[in-house]
Amino acid sequence: MPSIFTRIIAGEIPGRIVWRDDVCVAMVDIRPLNRGHTLVIPIAEVDRWTDLPADVSSHCMAVAHAVGRAQQKAFSPARVGLVIAGFEVPHAHVHVVPIDHMGHLDFGSADVSADPADLDAVAETLRGALRAEGHASVA
C-alpha cells in the first residue's frame, strides 16, 4: 500500500507542497514542531534514507538547503535544524525546522492541531521566499 506521502505526491490527497521537481517534493508538515516546519521527500518511495541512491539523497539535501534558506528569510529563526528519523511514515523524508532553541526539535511537542489556515499561510510564505531565492520553476 502506498505511503501517505506517495498519495500526496500523486495528488490523491491534498498537501501543502512548496517545492516540486522530478526527484522530490517539499511540503509543510501538518504537525509542525515550529512555524515553517517542512518535509523534503523523495518521489520514489524508499523507507530508509540510507537506502536512497546517493544522487537522490544528495538532491534532497540540496533542496533542504534551499528550503532552509527560504525559512531563514521568511521566519527569521536563530537556526534551521534538520532531522531524519523515519519512524512516523515508512517513506524517507528530511524534517527542515526553523528553530530558536533545541526544544523546537522535540517531536513530543508537535502541534497536532495546527490551524489549517495558518499552514496555508506558511506554505504561501515559503513559496514566495523560494521564488525570491531564484526557485520559481519549482516553487
Q: Which residues are catalytic?
A: 93
The 3-state secondary structure of the chain reads: CCCHHHHHHCCCCCCCEEEECCCEEEEECCCCCCCCCEEEEECCCCCCHHHCCHHHHHHHHHHHHHHHHHHHHHHCCCEEEEECCCCCCCCCCEEEEEECCHHHHCHHHCCCCCCHHHHHHHHHHHHHHHHHCCCCCCC
